[in-house]
Amino acid sequence: SAVISQKPSRDICQRGTSLTIQCQVDSQVTMMFWYRQQPGQSLTLIATANQGSEATYESGFVIDKFPISRPNLTFSTLTVSNMSPEDSSIYLCSAGDRAYEQYFGPGTRLTVT
């Protein structure tokens, strides 16, 4: 299994600013994903981070709001742009060599004021 770390673990940001979340995997992996989880809710997939190409976004999520980079097989970033209080959530990175066997990072708890 892969070990995944995320930075920052939490942050409090002002409305209108942007935050970039980093996801680092301890080994090369094929698949990396970004999720959002509201308190008491299940995980919502934001996008699949593709190495060397544009991320694949799920319905309701757009690149301008959530730009994603994946420069290599062990690292990805998610930026939450022009934040509003509705973006307050836990953001989770996951990774694995198979899309269906994913290992999750500890999450980034974002609060927008």
**Residues that bind another protein in the complex, under the rule CB under 8 A:** 1, 31, 33, 41-43, 45, 48, 92, 99-107
Residue from 109, 91, 107 nearest 6 by CA: 107
DSSP-derived secondary structure for 2-37: --EEEE-SEEEE-TT--EEEEEEESS--SEEEEEEE
Of residues 26 and 101, the one with the C-beta less far from another protein: 101
Smallest gap from Cβ 103 to another protein, in A, equals 7
Of residues 14 and 39, the one with the C-beta less far from another protein: 39
Of residues 75 and 103, the one with the C-beta less far from another protein: 103
Smallest gap from Cβ 106 to another protein, in A, equals 6
Of residues 41 and 82, the one with the C-beta less far from another protein: 41
Q: Going by C-beta distance under 8 Å and a sequence separation of 6 or more, which residues neighbour residue 110?
A: 10, 11, 13, 19, 21, 80, 83, 87, 88, 89, 90, 91
Smallest gap from Cβ 60 to another protein, in A, equals 13
How many Å apart are CA 67 and CA 27, to the nearest integer?
A: 23
Smallest gap from Cβ 83 to another protein, in A, equals 22
